[in-house]
């Protein structure tokens, strides 16, 4: 009988549900989204409603993706007793409400492969730091969580807002001598704000130079390879266009930052470099054709075949690449 009583007590302890508080977030401002440095600034309110005064999750909550701790600001309001009119913890009549306002610069991984048609998800993540999820979990206040409708994030549009509670596991006890095995997980709340770029003028500024370089290289097909001086000028034009394209390719780093991904802008630059390179090869071939006494054939190939082939295929390549970026985002 004693063993039976002990076993039933242990089972009861294991099946006791964790304590919980209702936690919500309201984003008041989003600013300074910096794609190159992968960060953004935000102001938001976070609150908790708990069934007992002893539960105060805002004191043990941690913002996970802070980039600049020097500019992190947080104000904590006193815990106030309020009537539970929304019946969150019925049959309790009173609950305990706390709130904080936080201003922070947060880090955010951004994939700019499809710039300027890129879409991103800005995330604000919080985690309980003292109790495991077997002891305490967040219950998301979906009704009151949200964002300020008039938020003006320059060049971007908010497309959706989501809040979700998660349980995040750690394979460590963090050196706690009172624990002989890692806790199963810690409760976490993640705010996801989907945004899309609505201004594409920066794309034109990054690519106008490369398109002009391509156009100049294509004009070289109308130089007469029969004249030695013009043949040399034709090669010089291709070399100049190639140099301008390479120089323009470096300028995108100041806007998009360094990335190992192949971006749409990279793709356009690489394609242009290849077209200009082959244009130079055609120039040499055209000159050799003239030296073999086939002046009319060289002129026809330059103006009627290679010029049209290069121009049409380059335009088609750009249409397909840009259309893909628009679809994928």
pLDDT digits (tens, 9 = 90+) for 36-95: 889 999 999 999 999 999 999 999 999 999 988 777 788 877 789 899 888 888 888 999
Domain that holds residue 49: 16-197
Is there a single domain that holds both residue 235 and residue 289? yes
Domain closes at, from 154, 182, 197: 197
Place of tokens 């082959």: 278
Q: Long-range CB contacts (< 8 A, 24+ apart) of 286-292?
A: 286/225, 286/231, 287/225, 287/231, 289/225, 290/225, 290/226, 290/231
Query: Rounded to two decimals, what is the model's pTM?
Result: 0.81
- CATH number of the structural domain spanning residue 184: 2.70.170.10
Domain closes at, from 137, 166, 197: 197
Task: Determine the Cα–Cα distance for residues 206 and 265; give it in Å rounded to an integer.
Answer: 8
- 189 falls within a domain: yes
Domain closes at, from 197, 229, 248: 197
- 7 falls within a domain: no
Is there a single domain that holds both residue 70 and residue 193? yes
Q: Which of 12-16, 94-98, 256-260 is most confident? A: 94-98
Is there a single domain that holds both residue 142 and residue 219? no
Contact present, 27 and 124 (Cβ < 8 Å): yes
- CATH number of the structural domain spanning residue 226: 1.20.58.390
- 163 falls within a domain: yes
- 256 falls within a domain: yes
Is there a single domain that holds both residue 222 and residue 176? no
Counted domains in the chain: 2
Confidence band, pLDDT 50/70/90 cuts, at residue 213: very high
- 4 falls within a domain: no
Is there a single domain that holds both residue 38 and residue 21? yes
Is there a single domain that holds both residue 151 and residue 187? yes
- 182 falls within a domain: yes
Residue 115, number of CB atoms within 10 A of its CB: 23
- 6 falls within a domain: no
Is there a single domain that holds both residue 85 and residue 173? yes
- Answer whether residue 2 shows pLDDT above 70: no
- Answer whether residue 5 shows pLDDT above 50: no
SS3 assignment for the chain:
CHHHHHHHHHHHHHHCCCEEEEEEEEEEEEEEEECCCCEEEEEEEEEEEECCCCCCHHHCEEECCECCHHHCEEEECCCEEEECCCCCCCCCCEEEEEEEEEEEEEECCCCCCCCCCCEEEEEEEEEECCCCCCCEEEEECCCCCEECCCCCCCCEEEEEEEEEEEEECCCCCCCCCCCCCCCCCEEEEEEEEEEEECCCHHHHHHHHHHHHHHHHHHHHHHCCCCCHHHHHHHHHHHHHHHHHHHHHHHHCHHHHCCCCCCCHHHHHHHHHHHHHHHHHHHHHHHHHHHHCCCHHHHHHHHHHHHHHHHHHHHHHHHHHHHHHHHHHC
Task: Determine the Cα–Cα distance for residues 321 and 115; give it in Å rounded to an integer.
Answer: 11
Task: Determine the Cα–Cα distance for residues 186 and 189; give it in Å rounded to an integer.
Answer: 10
Please give the mean pLDDT across all residues of the chain.
Answer: 87
Is there a single domain that holds both residue 277 and residue 252? yes
Which pLDDT does position 218 carry in this prediction? 92
Instruction: List Cα–Cα distances, 264 to 34, 105, 198, 209, 221, in angstroms.
Output: 19, 28, 17, 15, 27
Is there a single domain that holds both residue 246 and residue 183? no
Is there a single domain that holds both residue 205 and residue 183? no
Is there a single domain that holds both residue 53 and residue 133? yes
- 1 falls within a domain: no
Is there a single domain that holds both residue 150 and residue 233? no
Confidence band, pLDDT 50/70/90 cuts, at residue 126: very high
């Amino acid at each position: 009988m004693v063993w039976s009583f002990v076993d039933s007590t242990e089972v009861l302890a294991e099946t006791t549900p964790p304590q919980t508080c209702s936690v919500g977030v309201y984003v008041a401002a989003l600013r300074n989204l910096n794609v190159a440095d992968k960060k953004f600034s935000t102001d938001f309110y976070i609150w908790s409603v708990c069934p007992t005064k002893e539960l105060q999750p805002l004191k043990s909550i941690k913002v996970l993706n802070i980039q600049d701790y020097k500019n992190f600001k947080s104000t904590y309001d006193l815990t106030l007793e309020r009537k539970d009119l929304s019946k969150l913890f019925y049959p309790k009549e009173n609950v305990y409400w706390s709130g904080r306002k936080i201003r922070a610069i947060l880090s955010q991984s951004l994939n700019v492969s499809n710039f300027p048609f890129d879409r991103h998800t800005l995330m604000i993540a919080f985690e309980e730091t003292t109790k495991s999820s077997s002891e305490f979990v967040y219950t998301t206040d979906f009704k009151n969580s949200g964002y300020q409708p008039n938020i003006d994030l320059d060049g971007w549009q908010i497309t959706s807002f989501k809040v979700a509670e998660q349980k995040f596991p750690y394979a460590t006890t963090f050196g706690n001598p009172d624990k002989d095995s890692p806790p199963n997980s810690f409760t976490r709340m993640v705010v996801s704000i989907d945004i899309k770029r609505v201004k594409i003028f920066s794309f034109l500024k990054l690519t106008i130079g490369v398109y002009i370089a391509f156009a100049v290289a294509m004009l070289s097909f109308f130089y007469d390879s029969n004249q030695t001086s013009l043949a040399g000028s034709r090669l010089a034009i291709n070399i100049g266009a190639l140099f301008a394209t390479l120089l323009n390719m470096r300028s995108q780093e100041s806007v998009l930052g360094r990335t190992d991904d192949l971006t749409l802008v990279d793709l356009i630059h690489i394609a242009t470099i290849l077209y200009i390179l082959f244009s130079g090869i055609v120039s040499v071939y055209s000159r050799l054709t003239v030296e073999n006494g086939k002046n009319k054939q060289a002129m026809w190939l330059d103006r009627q075949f290679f010029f049209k082939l290069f121009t049409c295929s380059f335009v088609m390549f750009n249409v397909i690449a840009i259309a893909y970026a628009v679809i994928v985002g």
